[in-house]
Chain A
Amino acid sequence: MKSVLSVFILATIISTSLIAQESGRKIPAVDVKKLDQTTFNTGDISNDGKPIIINFWATWCSPCKRELNTIAEVYEDWQEETGVKIVAISIDDTRNVPKVEPYVNGQAWEYEVYIDPNSDFKRAMNVNNVPHTFLVDGNGNIVWQHNSYQPGDEDELYELVQKLAAGESID
């Protein structure tokens, strides 16, 4: 009887957590810093029902900078066509925090940039290493994620953004 009970409980847990998974994961609410060092809560990330790309990067991460600099060249077109917004989360710590804003402006990025100096948001989003990209649909659900970057990855990402913007499922 005991085993039946435990199997039943286990099944309940699994099924309920599976149901929960399907309903989609929202962006966790964690305090990060704006470029002017004031506090911003990631629960407030939004884009008027249009898709959002959340990208974790750092000033010391070469592939991260390759990715964000490559996308920067086409970002205007992406925004015009799909309304997508890119939120770039720098995981630089105290050592490099003062270099983030000069780098972002120096490269003339138009992204919304936040700094996560003690990796609180990185932990909450279960990011192992950078670059790590999340795609969030118009309802605020995280629907896709990708780790690392190589040239051409931005094409796959944009195809998914276009699908989301058109209201299609990306599975």
Chain B
Amino acid sequence: MLRKINVLAAGLIISAFSGFSQELLDGIQIHGNIDIYGQTYNEDSIIGAPVVPEKAGLNAFTNLIATKGAFTAGVRFESYMPPIQGFDNRYGNQKVGIPYRYVNFVKEGLDITVGNFYEQFGTGMILRAYEAPSLGYDNVFDGLRVKYSPFRGVYLKALAGNQRYYWNKSDGIVRAFDGEVQLNELFTKFNESKLRVALGGSFVSKFQSAGISSITLPENVASWASRVQMNYKGFGFTGEYAYKINDPSSDNNFIYRAGQGLFLSGTYSTKGFGINVSAKTIDNMAFRSDREATINDLFINYLPALTRQHTYNLSSTLYPYATQPNGEIGLQADIIYKVKKGTKIGGKYGTTIQVNLSAIQGHDTTRLSNPNELLTQEYLPNDPTRQGYKTSLFSVGDETFYRDYNIEITRKINKSIKLKGSYIHQNYNIDLVQGTATGSNVIADIAVMEGTFKLAKKHSIRAEAQHLWTAQDQGNWAFALLEYGYSPHWIVSLLNQYNYGNSNKALRVNYPTAQVTYIKNANRISIGYGRQRAGIFCVGGVCRNVPAANGLTVAITSSF
């Protein structure tokens, strides 16, 4: 009897649950993506490859997103067994975990996220949470965000949360608000106007307890920014100004100076021609949710380099510039011109010329005291010596942080051959950016030739030859790459880099690598073997030092 009741109850539960789950699950869609990267490490002292006791590293990221109607929920599993060399070891504190999970609801202009979320206000000068998995960068918020559009053309956002700190969270809490008004959408009489104008403003405040400290620390640090965006026919203009109240931190050596930033950018483009000129000046704008944080940890804001983001190996990973948040002033011009087909210079298929010029200098500053003495002094709010230094946002100092002048010409010769040539001149303040003490900037000149040859339907070859000349650092480099593609599934590539110009003869080393990639739709598997040169890999504004390595690499990505 009892048994019968049990079965009956179970039957009822099952039917009730299946009905319930049926209703709950009806129309749920689950999608995701996986990114796995594994590498083995052979000992190779000549290239300076660190000895890895585990002999291998493995990073894996799996995202799952479920949607139903107005609801979206997502999680990310991350695994580090142990982290790939170059990733922060603190990722290894936990082998597998879920650092990212959220639930989102959107209805009638209201958008609420509980849990983790990424966000950007304006150009990001006072707030941007984002991820760059290939660099181990993730300053995602964990908290609550509300977005609301009360009228067409008015966009409001408010958030509060902690930031991710490897497998922990920031001490500090961030509270922030952003509003944007798109005038053409808001006022019907401007709907069709060729002049488009948007105005925006943000406010960001962080709270971190002062704890026990020998100096008086502000527990609440506020910052604000205002921005404008205008467009008229082919012209565009963006401007953003940011201000941050005194925020003594490891970055600025605990001075009580306010921070400021200004970004201006103008563009003009028409069919076959485009130009962008941008200017940026920042002073004391490192903004983090923990005043003790260093390197790439716990940034609330985003200050990308005002330079070209190079793609070729020698121009992108040896001397890449990174913004100096404590102070810099820079200018960049980027021009693209497509010479018409059928003209003498343009050739039968047209030629594209791209020029990029950028220059970054330090500010002209006068130091007000020895910064190392600051911590021993009593806090006096009006004591000018606690300001650290004196400067103006528009001053240009003598110290060259970075120069990059480059030109790239692309020309299609005929239906099967396309050639690209580049010349790049860099002047790189290696002591400032990489923390070395060489006493002089690296002056590097780089030439690149690239050819793509379509041999037959589905068969193609791509070849790259690169050379870097410099009298400083590691001297000259030569690079060659040969890649065979069989569309749409296979890519086989061989490359070698040779540091033949190294002043130390023992370090004139070759770095050969071979790689095979198989692609099927959104699945990609890549296996490589060889030596990897130490370098700095950057995406956007963040860079990761990758030490030299020798071994096997396996990369798998999939989207579903």
Structural contact, B231 and A12, CB atoms closer than 8 A: no
Q: A94-B124, A126-B560, A150-B460 are in contact. List 16 more A-B contacts (CB 8 A).
A: A1-B10, A13-B25, A16-B25, A25-B31, A28-B67, A37-B231, A37-B236, A38-B196, A98-B265, A102-B336, A105-B274, A125-B559, A128-B559, A146-B521, A152-B458, A153-B487
Structural contact, A105 and B118, CB atoms closer than 8 A: no
Structural contact, A39 and B276, CB atoms closer than 8 A: no
Interface contact tally, CB-CB below 8 A: 213
Task: Give chain B interface residues in 56-74, CB to chain A under 8 Å.
Answer: 63, 65, 67, 72
The number of residues on chain B lying at the interface, defined by a beta carbon within 8 Å of a beta carbon of chain A, is 93
Q: Which residues of B line the A interface, CB within 8 A?
A: 6-7, 10, 13-14, 17-18, 21-22, 25-35, 63, 65, 67, 72, 106, 118-120, 123-124, 128, 130-131, 134, 155, 182, 184-185, 196, 198, 229, 231, 234, 236, 238, 265, 267-276, 278, 302, 304-306, 309-311, 334-338, 352, 354, 452, 454, 457-460, 485, 487-488, 491, 517, 519, 521-524, 540-541, 557-560
Q: Nearest residue in B to A59 (C-beta to C-beta)?
A: B309
Q: Nearest residue in A to B336 (C-beta to C-beta)?
A: A106
Task: Give chain A interface residues in 112-171, CB to chain B under 8 Å.
Answer: 117-120, 123-129, 132, 144-148, 150-153, 155-156
Question: Complex: how many Å from CA A103 to CA B272?
Answer: 9
Complex interface: chain B residues within 8 A of A59 (CB): 309
Contact pick for A95, options B182, B305, B311, CB 8 Å: B305
Structural contact, B309 and A106, CB atoms closer than 8 A: no
Structural contact, B198 and A105, CB atoms closer than 8 A: no
Structural contact, B267 and A98, CB atoms closer than 8 A: yes
Structural contact, A126 and B269, CB atoms closer than 8 A: no
Complex interface: chain A residues within 8 A of B63 (CB): 123, 126
Given contacts A16-B28, A37-B238, A105-B269, contact A60 B311 (CB under 8 A): yes
Give me 18 A-to-B residue pairs in the complex whose CB atoms sit less than 8 angstroms apart, sorted by A's number: A5-B10, A12-B18, A16-B22, A20-B28, A36-B196, A37-B229, A60-B309, A60-B310, A95-B540, A97-B123, A102-B276, A118-B130, A146-B519, A151-B452, A151-B460, A151-B487, A152-B485, A152-B488
Q: Give the Cβ gap from B332 to chain A, nearest Cβ, in Å.
A: 9
Structural contact, A128 and B35, CB atoms closer than 8 A: yes
Q: Top 4 closest A-B pairs, CB basis?
A: A102-B274, A152-B487, A106-B336, A95-B304
Q: Which residues of A line the B interface, CB within 8 A?
A: 1, 4-5, 8-9, 12-13, 16-17, 20-21, 23, 25, 28-29, 36-39, 59-62, 66, 93-99, 101-108, 117-120, 123-129, 132, 144-148, 150-153, 155-156
Complex interface: chain A residues within 8 A of B72 (CB): 28
Question: Complex: how many Å from CA A94 to CA B302?
Answer: 9
Structural contact, B459 and A152, CB atoms closer than 8 A: yes
Question: Complex: how many Å from CA A16 to CA B354?
Answer: 52
Structural contact, A145 and B521, CB atoms closer than 8 A: yes
Structural contact, A147 and B487, CB atoms closer than 8 A: no
Q: Nearest residue in B to A61 (C-beta to C-beta)?
A: B311
Q: Nearest residue in A to B25 (C-beta to C-beta)?
A: A16
Given contacts A13-B21, A25-B31, A147-B519, contact A66 B452 (CB under 8 A): yes
Question: Complex: how many Å from CA A156 to CA B486?
Answer: 12
Question: Complex: how many Å from CA A23 to CA B68?
Answer: 13
Given contacts A5-B14, A36-B196, A118-B120, contact A107 B560 (CB under 8 A): no
Question: Complex: how many Å from CA A28 to CA B28?
Answer: 13
Q: Give the Cβ gap from A158 to chain B, nearest Cβ, in Å.
A: 12
Question: Complex: how many Å from CA A153 to CA B517?
Answer: 15
Tell me the interface secondary structure of chain A in the complex.
mixed
Interface centre among A60, A66, A119, A151, by most chain B C-beta atoms within 10 angstroms, is A151
Complex interface: chain A residues within 8 A of B560 (CB): 126
Given contacts A16-B21, A150-B488, contact A99 B276 (CB under 8 A): yes
Q: Nearest residue in B to A62 (C-beta to C-beta)?
A: B311
Structural contact, B27 and A107, CB atoms closer than 8 A: no
Complex interface: chain B residues within 8 A of A120 (CB): 118
Question: Complex: how many Å from CA A57 to CA B553?
Answer: 25
Structural contact, B269 and A127, CB atoms closer than 8 A: no
Given contacts A9-B21, A106-B337, contact A117 B120 (CB under 8 A): yes
Question: Complex: how many Å from CA A151 to CA B456?
Answer: 10
Complex interface: chain A residues within 8 A of B234 (CB): 105
Structural contact, B337 and A150, CB atoms closer than 8 A: no
Structural contact, B120 and A153, CB atoms closer than 8 A: no
Complex interface: chain A residues within 8 A of B454 (CB): 151-152
Complex interface: chain B residues within 8 A of A132 (CB): 522, 559
Question: Complex: how many Å from CA A153 to CA B298?
Answer: 41
Question: Complex: how many Å from CA A23 to CA B28?
Answer: 10
Question: Complex: how many Å from CA A1 to CA B5?
Answer: 13
Question: Complex: how many Å from CA A152 to CA B489?
Answer: 10
Q: Give the Cβ gap from A166 to chain B, nearest Cβ, in Å.
A: 21
Question: Complex: how many Å from CA A20 to CA B267?
Answer: 45
Complex interface: chain A residues within 8 A of B231 (CB): 36-37
Complex interface: chain B residues within 8 A of A13 (CB): 21, 25
Structural contact, A105 and B559, CB atoms closer than 8 A: no
Q: Give the Cβ gap from B78 to chain A, nearest Cβ, in Å.
A: 14
Structural contact, B522 and A38, CB atoms closer than 8 A: no
Q: Nearest residue in B to A60 (C-beta to C-beta)?
A: B309
Q: Nearest residue in A to B119 (C-beta to C-beta)?
A: A118
Q: Nearest residue in A to B312 (C-beta to C-beta)?
A: A62
Structural contact, B302 and A126, CB atoms closer than 8 A: no
Q: Nearest residue in A to B63 (C-beta to C-beta)?
A: A126
